[in-house]
Amino acid sequence: MCNRNTSLTDPTADFVLSDLLTATEDLIDFTINVFDTIRLQSHFNDRNRRVNLASQLKDALDAQKTEFGTIEIPIKPCTVTTTLKYDLSLYLDRILQSCKRTKANLMLLRVSHTRSTNTTLLLVASTNVRVEQLNKKVQLLTRLVKENGGEFQTKKKKKKKILSNTKLDEKNRSEWTLDYPPLFAHFEYGLSKLAYYFDPAMLDINNLNYASEKTKLFQRLSVIGSEIILVFAIFSLLKTMQIGRKNHDIPMPIIQMLFALSLLANFGLIIVDHIHFQYNGFLLGILLISISCMYQNQYLMSAIWFSTLLNLKHIFLYIAPAYIVYLFHSFCIKQSPNGKRFIINLITLGIATLVPFVLSFGPFILMNQLPQVLSRLFPFKRGLCHAYWAPNMWAVYNVADKALAIIGRYTHLFPVRSVSVSMTSGLVQDIEHQVLPSITPTMTFILTFIFMIPSLIRLFRYCSKRTFLETVILCALTSFLFGWHVHEKAILISIIPLSLLAFDSREHARYFLLLSTFGGFSLFPLIFTGPEIPIKIGLFIAYTTFLFYILGEVHGDRGSTFTLPLLNRFETLSVVLLVPLCLYVEFLHTVLHIDRILPFLPLLLISIYCSIFIIYCWIRLHRIEAHLEDELTAIESTVKFSGRWNKKQKNKSD
């Protein structure tokens, strides 16, 4: 297009307009050459679908071409339907793969994380040009993405959409990338009401790329504001769980303060919520409130909180089995002397759980929108792994498959299926394995459930509060390891509850340290822009070392020359080896220009390395035995304080 070169060198120029125009122009070429460009046909096997897509694209463009003919029209979002957008993004993955073979840049992958309309279109456009132009485009695209800010943009979109359709017209909702349950939409609706007072321009529906300082500030503040729930949850937990009660060396208030700090300044939460932009602190706060209610024996309140949480983000279905078993056992069986009572309890529990569901899904059922909503919530069309492999079992599985394929190809010991798309890039979402059997969603479900069963059985047998908490952690971790299309952020669901136990139990502290170190490290690829990389590394080191220091002091193990506090030599080595890995991934990889040959190597390394130790933690956590007697004495006993310091206090008061 006309003035691309000037806009590339001039940082102040308005990128968005000229480049959207360029993108649409390129897109026209793209639609013409659509059959030539995409030779990888594994996904688009049937011809009808391809033709359909091409014609849809062309229609969408024709509708807009008239408008783009005159340049006066500002940034206009391309009104593409969701299905088309989805197909486009799948296309994108294929194309990116072919780009990789022709020395594409690593940045492309990172850009593809964010699937907002504009970036998708731009990316599709950019694949059509020659490779030497690609680099320039990539620079530009990263800039665009940075300004629009990935996740941030989708959230804003939701908000806008919701406010402009004040009648909550659910039909249109599915066009946008709202893939959270309905209650979250209501939450966003409340936020958008606030936003109106803050800066009305932000909610203008035609203003997609709007990301002023004020908007950013509002969005950031909304995250910080919503974390009040987390603070509240921590306070109520401190009261109910008596954390640090059993410690004999360090006074309880200090331990409680350290505990609160370690939760509030959690590296994962900061990275995902405050830099990447999500509302996890708020959601996990609700989870903690529910756990705290459980510790106070308020079973119904706990159930209501938890089902509210499910309606806010359905990812918490991961830990639902633990809730079901525990509530069933302790509320229905234990508390009912006779059969009649049992049935009454069961019905009350059922009603309490269903109320939030009815409130949030009710309007959809009335409008017959339920299937559509559900299909948005459970996207089985997406692949086994996320674009960046979450550090779970499937990452290991994929790598093993790849290794076996290479061995098989050279030795001919076993048959290797030829697959049109190799999956080493970590980009393709639905992976076809070459040697090992391919995985389907049903298989992941069955596996997850099978591996949950041991901990559930133990919960049913002992049925103490502490076993409940352990089971919640294990369920979350199991689903993280075996689930279908797991995000790397889901590790937070097991780390946060584990931190509740870390200050009281030495063994849990050990695995909490390991899990938060490796889980935190696996979040690194979320943040990839230049100035944020040192912030991310610095924060990670600071948080991890403080955590080791604090927990070492709390449990009276300061480590030795060769071991970190609470860890053995092997685990220490694994943590220390993160240093060279981090150096390689963040700096050496680009400095040594390995990114031109193997652009996705860092992501692969991170997810494999972290997955090994997360699996290790998962196995070890199973082996920690429940301290049943401890538990009983701890919660139900009337003596609230024990320990040397507390005794001293008592003596003083006497």
Partner 1 sequence: MNYLLFLGLLASAITLRWIVARYPYSGYNKFPMFGDFEAQRHWMEITVNLPVSEWYQNSSSNNLTYWGLDYPLLTAYHSYICGWISNKINPTWCALKESHGHESDAHKLFMRYTVFIVDLLIYYPAVFYTYRSDLLNKNVETKKFTVLLTNLFYPLLILIDHGHFQFNSISLGLALIAFVMATKEKTILLSAIFFTLSLNYKQMELYHAVPIFVYLLSAYCFEQRKPKLKTFLSLGFVVILTFFIIWFPVLKHDPMAVMKRLFPFERGLYEDKVANFWCTLNLIVKLRTKFDHGTLAKLCLLTTSLSILPSCCMLFRRPTVRNFYISLFNVSLCFYLFSFQVHEKTILLSCLPVILLSATYPVESFTFLQFAMISAFPLMIKDNLVFIFWITFIGFSILAFQRLYIHFNHISLLQLLFSVLCITTTLPLLIAAIYVKPPSRYPDLWVVLISACSCIYFLITLAQFHIYQFKETISYIKKTN
Segment interacting with partner 1, rule: CB under 8 A, options 123-131, 157-165, 294-302, 556-564? 556-564
**Pairwise CA distance, residues 544 & 518, whole Å:** 10
Residue among 140, 77, 149 nearest 108 (CA): 140
Q: How many residues bind partner 1 (CB under 8 A)?
A: 22
User: Which residue of 190, 363, 454, 538 would you call a contact of partner 1, by CB under 8 A?
Assistant: 538
**Pairwise CA distance, residues 606 & 36, whole Å:** 35
Q: Is 593 in the site for partner 1 (CB under 8 A)?
A: no
Segment interacting with partner 1, rule: CB under 8 A, options 286-294, 480-488, 535-543, 614-622? 535-543
Please state the closest distance from residue 494 (CB atom) to partner 1, in A: 24
**Pairwise CA distance, residues 138 & 144, whole Å:** 10
**Pairwise CA distance, residues 544 & 541, whole Å:** 5
Site map for partner 1, 379-418, x if CB under 8 A?
----------------------------------------
Q: Are 136 and 8 in contact (CB under 8 A)?
A: yes
Please state the closest distance from residue 461 (CB atom) to partner 1, in A: 39
User: Which residue of 306, 548, 613, 645 would you call a contact of partner 1, by CB under 8 A?
Assistant: 548
Q: Is 149 in the site for partner 1 (CB under 8 A)?
A: no
Nearer to partner 1, 326 or 503 (CB): 503
Residue among 612, 603, 570 nearest 584 (CA): 603
Please state the closest distance from residue 177 (CB atom) to partner 1, in A: 28
**Pairwise CA distance, residues 362 & 356, whole Å:** 9
Please state the closest distance from residue 316 (CB atom) to partner 1, in A: 31
Span 116-145, contacts to partner 1 by CB under 8 A: 143
**Pairwise CA distance, residues 410 & 421, whole Å:** 19
Q: Is the dihedral of CA 569, 497, 623, 476 positive or negative?
A: negative
Q: List the beta bridge partners of residue 385.
A: 486
**Pairwise CA distance, residues 124 & 20, whole Å:** 12
Nearer to partner 1, 439 or 582 (CB): 582
User: Which residue of 5, 33, 133, 545 would you call a contact of partner 1, by CB under 8 A?
Assistant: 545
**Pairwise CA distance, residues 137 & 143, whole Å:** 10
Nearer to partner 1, 537 or 628 (CB): 537
Calculate helix-pair angle for 492-502, 280-295, nearest 10 degrees: 40
Nearer to partner 1, 475 or 550 (CB): 550
Q: Are 148 and 121 in contact (CB under 8 A)?
A: no
Please state the closest distance from residue 448 (CB atom) to partner 1, in A: 37
Sorted by sequence, the CB contacts under 8 Å of residue 369 that are 6+ apart come out as 170, 171
Nearer to partner 1, 532 or 630 (CB): 532
User: Which residue of 453, 542, 573, 577 would you call a contact of partner 1, by CB under 8 A?
Assistant: 542
Q: Is 534 in the site for partner 1 (CB under 8 A)?
A: yes
Residue among 109, 114, 108, 164 nearest 140 (CA): 108
Please state the closest distance from residue 616 (CB atom) to partner 1, in A: 22
H/E run at residue 514? helix 506-521
Report the C-alpha dihedral over residues 499, 504, 509, 515, rounded to 10 degrees. Answer: -20
Span 266-305, contacts to partner 1 by CB under 8 A: none
Q: Which two tokens stand for residue 369?
A: 């929108």
Residue with tokens 């006066």: 72
Residue-wise DSSP of 600-635? THHHHHHHHHHHHHHHHHHHHHHHSPP-HHHHHHHH
Q: Is 580 in the site for partner 1 (CB under 8 A)?
A: no
Nearer to partner 1, 267 or 316 (CB): 267
Nearer to partner 1, 68 or 546 (CB): 546
Please state the closest distance from residue 192 (CB atom) to partner 1, in A: 25
Site map for partner 1, 79-118, x if CB under 8 A?
----------------------------------------
146 exposure class (CB count in 10 Å sphere: 0-12, 13-18, 19+): middle
H/E run at residue 523? none
Please state the closest distance from residue 216 (CB atom) to partner 1, in A: 12
User: Which residue of 73, 231, 527, 535 would you call a contact of partner 1, by CB under 8 A?
Assistant: 535
Please state the closest distance from residue 437 (CB atom) to partner 1, in A: 44
User: Which residue of 337, 413, 530, 593 would you call a contact of partner 1, by CB under 8 A?
Assistant: 530
Segment interacting with partner 1, rule: CB under 8 A, options 235-243, 406-414, 480-488, 537-545? 537-545
Nearer to partner 1, 473 or 509 (CB): 509
Euclidean distance between the first and the last CA atom of the chain, given in angstroms as a whole number: 85
Q: Are 189 and 312 in contact (CB under 8 A)?
A: no
Q: Are 84 and 27 in contact (CB under 8 A)?
A: no
Nearer to partner 1, 293 or 564 (CB): 564
Nearer to partner 1, 415 or 531 (CB): 531
Q: Is 541 in the site for partner 1 (CB under 8 A)?
A: yes
Q: Which two tokens stand for residue 133?
A: 């132009």
Site map for partner 1, 175-204, x if CB under 8 A?
------------------------------
Nearer to partner 1, 58 or 143 (CB): 143
Site map for partner 1, 7-26, x if CB under 8 A?
----xx--------------
Please state the closest distance from residue 127 (CB atom) to partner 1, in A: 24
Residue among 418, 421, 397 nearest 96 (CA): 421
252 exposure class (CB count in 10 Å sphere: 0-12, 13-18, 19+): buried
Q: Are 248 and 506 in contact (CB under 8 A)?
A: no
Amino acid at position 426, single letter: G
User: Which residue of 532, 557, 586, 630 would you call a contact of partner 1, by CB under 8 A?
Assistant: 532
Residue among 377, 382, 378 nearest 93 (CA): 382
Nearer to partner 1, 310 or 539 (CB): 539
Nearer to partner 1, 115 or 536 (CB): 536
Please state the closest distance from residue 278 (CB atom) to partner 1, in A: 20
Return residues touching partner 1 (CB under 8 A). 11-12, 143, 530-532, 534-535, 538-542, 545-546, 548-549, 552, 558-559, 564-565
